[in-house]
Amino acid sequence: MESKSADLTKVKLKIFVGVQCVNNGGVSGKEEQVLSLASDGHLYVYDKNRKLTKWMNIKVDRALGCALGGDLLYCGCTEGIVRIFNSKSLEHILTLPKPPPLGQANVESGKKIRIPPNKDSRFADAVAVLVDEQN
């Protein structure tokens, strides 16, 4: 996690694939932040004055989108990776298990089976993330 000032000329050349607005409550109830995810896997946090306050690398080859659900930020990436972060602290909560490798299935006759990936396995990209807080 970086909290130093950043050179914004580097950030303006980024390709952003997801943006989420967060209200962290704060003392006045107006501590808004904007979380933005760049395709290179960097997550940026801006305050209400458009100042870059934090950034971090979520350690993926390529990020494709993000969604906010409650206090959690879900980031969908290549190779089936979905990482989950606390939206207030940016603490990494967990990385969801990958889907079955391409060309294989994990359901047979209604029963789940485990397919161990091998070094040649390829996984579908998580091109979008949607959070259903009701279910």
Whether 123 maps to a domain, the answer reads no
CATH number at residue 37: 2.40.10.480
Report the domain count for the chain. 1
In one-letter notation, the amino acid at residue 14 is K
| Mean predicted confidence (pLDDT) in 30-54 | 89
The percentage of residues in the chain with a pLDDT greater than 70, rounded to a whole number, is 78
| Total Cβ atoms within 10 A of residue 17 | 21
d(CA 1, CA 14): 19
The percentage of residues in the chain with a pLDDT greater than 90, rounded to a whole number, is 50
Can you give the residue range of the structural domain that contains 21?
Answer: 15-112
Structure-model confidence comparison of residues 24 and 100, the more confident one: 100
Per-residue burial over 28-66, b = 16 or more CB atoms within 10 Å of its CB, e = otherwise: eeeeebebbbbbebbbbbbeeeeebebbbebebeebbbb
Within a 13 Å sphere around the CA of 122, how many CA atoms are in the beta-carbon half?
Answer: 4
Whether 126 maps to a domain, the answer reads no
Question: Comparing C-alpha atoms, which of 38, 132, 33 is closest to residue 89?
Answer: 33
- pLDDT digits 0-9 by tens, 9-22: 667 788 999 999 98
Question: Comparing C-alpha atoms, which of 124, 21, 14, 131 is closest to residue 75?
Answer: 131
Supply the pTM of this predicted model. 0.81
Ranges 28-37, 73-82, 86-95: which has the least confidence: 28-37
